[in-house]
A and B are shown apart, each in its own frame.
Chain A
């Protein structure tokens, strides 16, 4: 049974859709809001802002996070900034331009209406955050400062040093704290959602594990919101936090929510290259570095050899022997091309043998020109903390020698399918932020993730969820002693017991590393039919291996990190296959999804709008069965789909 997808895009002109929709949807009276319960899973920008806003409206909110405090969600690690169409720089920015850049940056695989709404509310976000006391960078006149970011020709990015995500999250977390203090929100830190409970076709609550005591808990509500971020850790090595995972989203998928565009993964171009095989985590260097840093590799292979042998330093290579390949290939945007383009260009050079470190998987990001032009002090002011961080990690001083960078998995554009109201295919189940698929198409622009998280949480969900809940005002409190809860809890307990019973030989990380390797080699920056078919077979085999040979220690009734990791890996082992299947199905290149068979003569992504202008929505059919695909056509009414051009 395929999904009957209704995206519920409102009619009317692009700019009027959101206002028309808001006017048309129902609201819940204050007296009734008090009777309605909402569960929010995840406390990043989306979850925290939604919980705060819904609590403020008067709903009873329960908010869950796996960390020891809501403030630690991975949104906190975003460095560069947040976009908004304020046009404070007078560079002819507008809601339309932000919309257009985002649609184009996403390689025309996002919904026009959603993206326009995102651009529309972007300005409100900045107002909101400033009022909350987010200390954005300012100019001497006391007004807000901006910087430019990849994929845009205007300066529309607001920032707080290199800690924008942290500051925005602290703002949302403060708003959340206000509501926790007021009693409208109850916080459950160190709790992990292990299953979603669906009764009569509607989301009715979750099964959660108290990570400190190991207790399995039931929580019921009239609506459940998933705000658990992305699943980049399927690659083992990524810039995501160690505990970031796709499990909450995956349980929704397992229970009937459609999962859309799982193969759309963003590979961030400026990460510190991998060293050795003991590494657990990749470190991102902010995209903002590309404002002043120039990316290059040597023109001559003998220089590459000399660099690898250590006989030459990067600074020894003459200007005319350097290949600033982004500036060469994309004169109009230069080093500020979107992330997917920059990543692929780095891979192209490294594949051609120009990688500058021992592994051949690194390019230079050089500040020499900027230091000459602006002076070391200004560079220090702008990027001091990033430079220090780089030196701390690599033992190389980036003021003297260029940084080495290489692409790494960073963000997943794919996620749970949602309609215009952010509701999944399961009534009463919502997904916001990175956990859904809606706004970034096949590639996300820099400084847009924070924008989407806060847009969904502050300005979209609080309205749209009312439309659903207005039908629930007569519904009593959700009982958690029903058959659906019994079954869900039983399944969770059985799964945990099964994991402990395996008593195999490999640790969770051993297997996760293998999965990461399969994913990176075959479902990474460039994918082919063969690599994807290979990946599917290998992942299936690895999944069997996991269920036969994983080794857990300790018990379930205690703080047990290995158990947490095993449960997440079990889902990654299915999610990885789903990603490969989606990538195999999508026989075109678009944004972060690059099928080597589909490229232009210049090596750019080649879309096939006639056959693939849709979002692929997958329906779960069991662990070892092929999922079923439903297509949501992406009709472009207002923008002309063109080959993305960052050359002129």
Chain B
């Protein structure tokens, strides 16, 4: 199996599938973590502290970054290859074939939006938390402790344009996951006609959970900032 992961189309797809699965798992973990911020700011900050600049959190971050990088680089390689395979002359008339999801044909665009969102997110949070610790700092540019994630959330999502940008990001992620989640099963061969409806249903559930889980934190913190007394309940 010397290098089929890099020289065969199916091998490359396997890499996409496995890194994708890994990223989905991370996202689910991240979402659960975020949700604690809704229940208790202290609990959330405890997690933040746990994931500071220590070796296991850094190792995790490195693996994660590698996962994102590999997923993205392979996506670019595959897309370029696919573009070439399509030939130079394109159809004058194209249609959406029946039963073909829009997301499935726009995974790269969606992926790029997700990646841009990620960059914004790293700037908003990671640069003010783990990075600060890594550089030996004890307070970030906003003056908060790098482990005070809850304060950072409250600060960021009190600004409406971040709320909008993050929601767009999550929407792109939703589309990406509706295709990506069932697709990774297909790519490793764990699918058949009986399971397609089930897998697609699971994909939609996962995508929707992820969207709702992340969006809830953003929206609720925004509402809290608008109406601090009741957190928007009024």
Q: A contacts B directly in the complex (CB < 8 Å)?
A: no
Binding site for B on A (CB under 8 A): none
Binding site for A on B (CB under 8 A): none
